[in-house]
Amino acid sequence: MADSKREFKEKEALLGKIWEKLLPTLGSITLAALFRRILRKVSSLCPAFSSISVTENGFNFAEIEKSKKDEFEKGFSLFISELTTFLSEMTGEILISEIEEIVKGSG
């Protein structure tokens, strides 16, 4: 169980880094709206993700730690995929390379 909690915290920190990287470019309101949109989509496939809340200050992961590890991993991968797809369509490769650096650096 401690391993799972550590993994949740690592993923939470990773999303926090992504948030901070995108914040100066997109602004808190746009970023919160984007992340909520992606979470709604991911939640339809991984219901545990509906427990993540997003504000203009970031995320609240408190409830998702109770979810199953495999569902969390699947949902997290979907979230990153949806985020990179959206940013690619919106900005081309401008923001994608920065996000990829953060994700790769966490592994």
pTM: predicted TM-score of the whole model, two decimal places: 0.80
What is the per-residue pLDDT for 107? 53
Burial 23-38 (b: 16+ CB within 10 A, else e): eeebeeeebbebbeeb
Number of domains into which the chain is organized: 1
79, amino acid identity = F
107 residues of the chain, pLDDT tens digit each:
567 778 878 888 888 899 998 999 889 999 999 999 999 999 999 888 888 888 888 887 777 766 677 778 888 899 999 998 988 888 777 777 778 888 887 65
What pLDDT sits at residue 41? 94
User: Which residues, at least 6 apart from 82, have a Cβ–Cβ distance to it below 8 Å?
Assistant: 38, 41, 42
Residue keyed to tokens 């470019």: 25
Give me the domain span that covers residue 101: 2-105
